[in-house]
Amino acid sequence: MQMQSVSVEQSGAPLAGEVVAVRGAVIDIAFPADSLPPLNTALSIESEEGERIVAEVQAHLNDRTVRALAMQSTSGLPRGGRAYASGQAIAVPVGDAMLGRLIDVMGAPGDKGASLPADVPRRPIHREPPPLSAQDVATEIFSTGIKVIDLLAPLARGGKAAMFGGAGVGKTVLVMELIHAMVEHYKGISVFAGVGERSREGHELLHDMQSSGVLPRTVLVYGQMNEPPGARWRVPLTALTVAEYFRDEQRQNVLLLMDNVFRFVQAGAEVSGLLGRLPSRVGYQPTLATEVAALQERIVSVGGTAITAIEAVYVPADDFTDPAVTTIAAHLDSTVVLSRAMAAEGMYPAIDPIASSSILLDPLVVGAEHVSVATEVRRTIEHYRELQDVISLLGIEELAADDRRIVGRARRLQRFLTQPFTVTEAFTGVAGRSVAVEDTLAGCKAILEGECDTWHEQSLYMVGTLDEARERERDAA
């Protein structure tokens, strides 16, 4: 705990105040007249056990009292306790010393490893985004090896992409596979922000990274479900500060993964209620758009060095019109939508080919052939969906010959766009596949042109390239 207070007291003689009220994670502190600490600056408060609690100023109640949000549990914190204001934002450790470590919102190690060195550089978690004139346009493709993403919703290096889905449709598995792809192909640095996730998931991710050998190039930042809302609310900013240091001062490309951004919004709503603000639409905080923008606008490429963000977003009750979901979606370059219906059919990854989209699916970026194949794949699957009610009522035999042919190709396309993942190999016993964009395009083109019309649908299910499916078909014949 002592290390956490260093960042609060490093700016000379701190201003002293007194705790006048404690309501869960919210603390009211009185200071001498006309000397209130600024908003979003850190406070260090002494608890009865002699430990220090770090809090952040959120509101000025009057000319003497501030309302602050605690980053740790306030259990045992008495009224009358001393509080020290640094006048500076919370600062967290950054740099090479963080690689391979698991830290909390304040930068304290949570992996039972060695203490961080005393001279580790620190940076404030609140920063303005780089000016628009300094930002690079994200037009370079970030190849994932996942067929359906590379074909229909290509990701941008230095861009922002999100996986939207309800509970249990495969968001975390998809994010884990993308971490694997990043380390395998790009040899970059990964920063993972676990926002409001279960403790079990954090434990599993740490062990998976240790066993796969990717941990030495990764920083894990956690603010889990059992922590106060302040910790969950500020964890993405801590992770982003670590990523910005690698981008700006070490000129390294960074993959920033956040699981789950909805929990960041949810923590903000809890904080807003604790601070006494009136709720807005559907009970969310009135500052929802501002909070999401403050996070997302810092994720940019500067001077040829990129932060590429891949975010998982929980969709409450599968309602894609939820204000949190629509606010996050407004900032993205690529939108990957996971479908519960496809997951129920065993079509993994359960990515909806119609609802998923990307601004990079443009002939000037990916080429005319890629756009043409992607458009034809979408059109074929969409036509099949329109006919599904007719098929379920009357049977496929009642369709016209052209429609029957399109339905057959659409079903084969859906199966070809499934693939086994490296991260699920331990559960399925099937080795993961990574497929180049050219092979994905060639396979889809062959199916659309009728080359696979006589094949068994099962031959195309959970394969990598079309050549693998061809071998399966040959073995089955």
| Active site residues per annotation | 171, 197-198
- Partnered with residue 65 across adjacent β-strands are 30
334/350 Cα distance (integer angstroms): 16
240 phi/psi in degrees, rounded to 5: -65, -35
13/23 Cα distance (integer angstroms): 28
With b for 16 or more beta-carbon neighbours within 10 A and e for fewer, the 401-423 pattern comes to eebeebbbbbbbbbbbbbbbbbb
| CB half-sphere exposure, 396, CA atoms < 13 A | 11
Q: Angle at the Cα of 76 (from 73 to 79), degrees rounded to 5?
A: 110
422/230 Cα distance (integer angstroms): 35
Q: Angle at the Cα of 144 (from 309 to 475), degrees rounded to 5?
A: 155
Task: Establish whether the linkage from the previous residue to 349 is cis, with ω within 30° of 0.
Answer: yes
144 phi/psi in degrees, rounded to 5: -105, -20
Structure token pair of residue 435? 């497929």
CB contact set of 391 (below 8 Å; sequence gap of 6+): 399, 407
How far is Cα of residue 262 from the mean position of the Cα atoms in its chain?
Answer: 9
278/286 Cα distance (integer angstroms): 7
311/314 Cα distance (integer angstroms): 10
| CB half-sphere exposure, 366, CA atoms < 13 A | 25
Angle, nearest 10°, between helix axes 466-476 and 437-448? 50
Q: Whats the size of the chain, residue-wise? A: 477
CB contact set of 59 (below 8 Å; sequence gap of 6+): 39, 66, 67, 275
Amino acid at site 107? G
424 phi/psi in degrees, rounded to 5: -100, 5
Residue tagged 């693998």 (tokens): 468
Report, in angstroms and rounded to the nearest whole number, the Rg of the chain calculated over CA atoms: 25
CB contact set of 351 (below 8 Å; sequence gap of 6+): 148, 149, 152, 153, 336, 337, 338, 339, 342, 417
243/227 Cα distance (integer angstroms): 23
